[in-house]
Structure 1
Amino acid sequence: MEAPPPPPPAHTSKKRKFDRVDGQEPPGSSSAGDVAGLDFINTLPDAVLCTIISLLPTKDGGRTQAVSRRWRPLWRSAPLNIVADSTLSGQERKRVIYISKILAQHPGPALRLALPYIRERYYGKIECWLRSQALTNLQELDLGFDVEGSLPSSLPLPSSLVLPPSALRFAPTLHVASFSCCRFPDLSAQSLNFPHLKELSMYRVTISELSASSLNLPHLKQLTLCRVTIPGDALHGMLTGCLSLESLLLKNNVGIRRLRISSPTLRSIGFSPAFRGEDATSFQELVIEDAPRLERLLPLYPDDGPRTIQIIRAPKLQVIGLLSDGISKLHIGTTFFQVTAAFFNHPIRIPICK
């Protein structure tokens, strides 16, 4: 009697499974073995796959077009997520080429655009990118210029590094924004109205009194200013207009001698003066005028000051961070503390009066 034919090689059955990428399993396949071979990702609706693609790194999102015939058009339907960092290419020249190509091929809409470190030579190119129809209704923007390699941090930014005006066309739709190494333009309040912005970060940005007074941030919840140049009174006015602000971080900013804060919503404040030798003004005094929800007041580098902290009204304040001889005077309500070594390296806890 002839022996039965040998079973097909294992690699043959595996190949057949991969050949079914574009299709579905035949009906009635419900055994445990068949379940193991199902392509669960490919059974997802197109809308879910587009969401997945938009969360991938930029290069990986574009590569999904090569997965199968079904995936080929999905990248053009997924919201754009462009992050021009080393994950896109290790060479800046190639990153610029890729961004131009993506914006030319993708119809939009866009979810995120991150251009964190672009040299000034590409300023005109950035203007063209920001005017692209593919970026209409952009929700997240990270825009900054690379000046660290050629410009000492203690020197002012070049006058040419103004935030591109075309970036402000996204003001009505942005939810998250980050700007670095540029000057905020002096424009009217109508141009600087960000009705939906919830998170804003600025690093080495120059803001004039006119710009600060024109900024409208009614729903901003988190604000981070690091090494920003802005007058103290202008910052006070800007914060007063942030009607939903909960978290404020002020780190190494320039131009502030005395800062007053009044906010009905703030819960946490972290602060530190500018680096020594970088600010002739020098941050000397912080005054909390009225902050009914403030719970934490945290000096980031207490050795550097400010010399005086005055808290007029903050009924829910629980903790003031570490103090040192850099902070010599502390006023809490009608109580005055002359800060001595007994306070050093110990946070002050304030009981809440019910």
Structure 2
Amino acid sequence: LGPLPVSAYRFSPTLRIATFGGCRLPDDDIAQGLHFPNLKHLSLESVSTSEHSLHSLIAGCPALECLMIHTIFGFRRLRINSLTLTFICVQDQLQNCKEFSQLQFEELVIQNAPCLEKLIPLYFECGLQVSVISAPRLHTLGFLTDWGDHSTKLVFGSTVIQVINLPTAVYTSCLIYGMSN
């Protein structure tokens, strides 16, 4: 994968919506210098990055409201600390988890996201654990999937929600439309 396009740096002060795909995010030192002050919607598709570089990118987007991640690799865990994010969608469709040579995204931790309303994990063929520590406005979740040895697991404090594979089940999924206290 090639580097992030030069135009991303040149137009960073004015970008409001950006999709970066088929590229490699810059290393930690350069990533810390990325600043997108007006970016509200960020989509990453088939991107390679380190956990630290991705955290730096998100931290450099103080107006970010929507984060969409589709097939991203190079790290195992993403921790979200954002005062502005209202929507997160993560999806991964690696065809063969065991043969993929790079680190795979396996865990999403929502540490502090006071404005987060929607969290949509989709189609994680390699499994995904989602832990929510603080997201007081969260009211909508995506669905849980079970792909053989891998399944999506949601953790809310001491409550764990996970698909259980039953031999008699033809198709297992759980669509959660909303939650309330």
> Is the TM value for this pair above 0.5?
yes
247, 252, 266: which one pairs with 2:66?
A: 247
Shift of the 320–230 alpha-carbon distance from structure 1 to 2, 3 Å rule, reads same
Structure 2 gaps of 5+ residues are 167-171
Structure with the higher helix share, 1 or 2: 1
Partner in structure 2 of residue 334 of structure 1: 158
Q: Does 1:283 align with 2:105?
A: yes
Q: Does 1:317 align with 2:138?
A: yes
Q: 1:27-74: CA deviations, max 9, x gaps?
A: xxxxxxxxxxxxxxxxxxxxxxxxxxxxxxxxxxxxxxxxxxxxxxxx
TM-score in terms of structure 2 length: 0.81
Partner in structure 2 of residue 297 of structure 1: 119
> Which has the greater radius of gyration?
1
Partner in structure 2 of residue 237 of structure 1: 56
Q: Return the structure number with greater relative CO, CA threshold 8 A, min gap 6.
A: 2
Shift of the 329–312 alpha-carbon distance from structure 1 to 2, 3 Å rule, reads same
Partner in structure 1 of residue 20 of structure 2: 202
Could you say what secondary structure the match of 1:346 adopts? strand
Distance 2:113 2:180 in 1: 14
Q: Does 1:352 align with 2:176?
A: no
TM-score in terms of structure 1 length: 0.44
Distance 2:101 2:71 in 1: 9
Q: 1:285-339: CA deviations, max 9, x gaps?
A: 1101111111111122134322x11010111111211111233432113322343
Distance 2:151 2:92 in 1: 11
Distance 1:256 1:199 in 2: 24
Mapped contact 1:319–1:347 kept (Cα < 8 A): no
- The residue type equivalent to 2:110 in the other structure is I
Deviation at 1:238, TM superposition (A): 1.6
Mapped contact 2:145–2:173 kept (Cα < 8 A): yes
Distance 2:4 2:104 in 1: 25
- The residue type equivalent to 2:56 in the other structure is G
Distance 1:291 1:257 in 2: 20
The aligned runs of 1:92-111 (5 Å cut-off) are none
Structure 1 gaps of 5+ residues are 1-155, 175-193
Mapped contact 1:200–1:223 kept (Cα < 8 A): yes
Structure with the higher strand share, 1 or 2: 2
Could you say what secondary structure the match of 1:233 adopts? helix
Mapped contact 2:93–2:125 kept (Cα < 8 A): no
Mapped contact 1:328–1:340 kept (Cα < 8 A): no
13, 37, 42: which one pairs with 1:223?
A: 42
Mapped contact 2:163–2:174 kept (Cα < 8 A): no
Quick one: percent identity of the two aligned structures?
33
Shift of the 279–224 alpha-carbon distance from structure 1 to 2, 3 Å rule, reads farther
- The residue type equivalent to 2:143 in the other structure is L
